[in-house]
Amino acid sequence: MYLSLENNSISKIPDDYFTRLQNLIAIRMSQNKLEEVAMNTFNLPHLMELNLGHNKLKHVFYIPRSLEHLYLHDNEFETINITLMCPVMDRMHRLTYLRVDQNKLRRPLSTLVFLCFPHIYSIYYGEQKQIAGEKNMPLIPQFPLPEEDRDDDDDDDDDEDFPQYHREEHEPIAGEHAGDAEEDNYFDDEYSY
């Protein structure tokens, strides 16, 4: 069962609003005016998708173990407390996708996210909202570095240096004793494969 309450002016959800709807699989409440959600509002046993994008949320809430996709984009989060979302670390949490772009995050999520949600394969940070007076920096360094950020000392002769480096690393070391040659031939035998 799906519940779509998108594009409304909902600003509050009563604490026990979904308790009689235990078979909900997806709740979509994006494009509303939600500012706060009670801790256990979405603790539903079969909930797999929860979309709360484009609201005004500042604080996270408990994530049920069954949830696989969580959309929290375009809200007002400055931090996301993983221990509130997942108070007990176990392998039962099925969250695989988390979207948190267009918030006010200034650093990546805690690495606890990978312990709490061991099946997560994608966290989409995207761009974050700019706070007045602050430079909007990416949460995760871009790789490879843009051309203008690279050192000017490094000329484009890296390709020429590679063969020399390769030879230095893989040529026999001067002064190896003769026994090493015998070890290298250990697998040479009369049989051809």
| Per-residue pLDDT at 140 | 66
- The structure tokens listed for 27 are 């709740």
Closest CA to 99 of 129, 74, 131, 67: 74
Q: Which parts of 25-65 fold into alpha helices (H)?
A: none
Domain ranges of the chain: 1-138
Q: 58: left (phi > 0), else alpha (psi -120 to 50), else beta? A: alpha
Q: In what order do the strands lie in the sheet with 122-124?
A: 2-4, 26-28, 49-51, 69-71, 97-99, 122-124
| Per-residue pLDDT at 169 | 46
pLDDT tens for each residue of the chain, 193 residues long: 999 999 999 999 998 999 999 999 999 999 999 999 999 999 999 999 999 999 999 999 999 999 999 999 999 999 999 999 999 988 899 999 999 999 999 899 999 999 999 999 999 999 999 887 777 666 665 445 456 555 554 555 554 544 444 444 445 545 545 455 455 554 555 555 4
The CATH number given to 1-138 is: 3.80.10.10
Model pTM score: 0.72
| Per-residue pLDDT at 166 | 44
| Per-residue pLDDT at 130 | 85
3-state secondary structure of 110: coil
